[in-house]
C-alpha cells in the first residue's frame, strides 16, 4: 500500500526556473511532512519539513506548500541551480519520531 504518492517521476528544469514536485498522502494521522534530497551514492538528507498547522514554510529557495483538506503538499525550488540536480523524496510520519514513509522520488535535472 503506497501511502505517499509523488509526481513527477523525473523533471528537467532550466537554470533559474522553478521546480515543482507534488505529493499526496492517504493517512490523516500523518502530522510531519519532510522532504529529503539524495545525491548519487549518498543517503537522503533532510531539506525542509512542515507540520499541518501551517500552510506554507519557506527556507531560502525552498518552499513547502501544504493543503490539509486535499491531503497534498508540494516542494517549490525557486531559481533552480545545476547543484540542485538530485533525487527528491517527500515523506510523512505520525508524531515525528515514528517510522517515516517515503514517496517514490523525483529525479530533478537542472540544465544550464
Which residues are at the interface with other proteins (CB under 8 A)? 4, 6, 32, 34, 36, 41-46, 49, 89, 91, 93, 95-97, 99-105
Cell output for 83? 547543484
Minimum Å gap between C-beta 16 and other proteins is: 28
Beta strands in the chain (DSSP E): 4-7, 10-14, 19-25, 33-38, 45-50, 56-59, 62-67, 72-77, 86-92, 101-102, 106-111
Minimum Å gap between C-beta 97 and other proteins is: 6
Closer to other proteins by Cβ: residue 33 or 77: 33
Minimum Å gap between C-beta 52 and other proteins is: 13
Closer to other proteins by Cβ: residue 28 or 112: 28
Query: Are β-strands 106-111 and 10-14 bridged in parallel, bridged antiparallel, or unpaired?
Result: parallel
Amino acid at each position: 500500500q503506497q501511502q505517499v504518492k509523488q509526481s513527477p517521476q523525473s523533471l528537467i528544469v532550466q537554470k533559474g526556473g522553478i521546480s515543482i514536485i507534488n505529493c499526496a498522502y492517504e493517512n490523516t494521522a500523518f502530522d510531519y511532512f519532510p522532504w529529503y534530497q539524495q545525491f548519487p551514492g549518498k543517503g537522503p538528507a533532510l531539506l525542509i519539513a512542515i507540520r499541518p498547522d501551517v500552510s506554507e514554510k519557506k527556507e531560502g529557495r525552498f518552499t513547502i506548500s501544504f493543503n490539509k483538506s486535499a491531503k497534498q503538499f508540494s516542494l517549490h525550488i525557486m531559481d533552480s541551480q545545476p547543484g540542485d540536480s538530485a533525487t527528491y523524496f517527500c515523506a510523512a510520519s505520525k508524531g515525528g519520531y515514528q517510522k517515516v514513509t517515503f514517496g517514490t522520488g523525483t529525479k530533478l535535472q537542472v540544465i544550464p
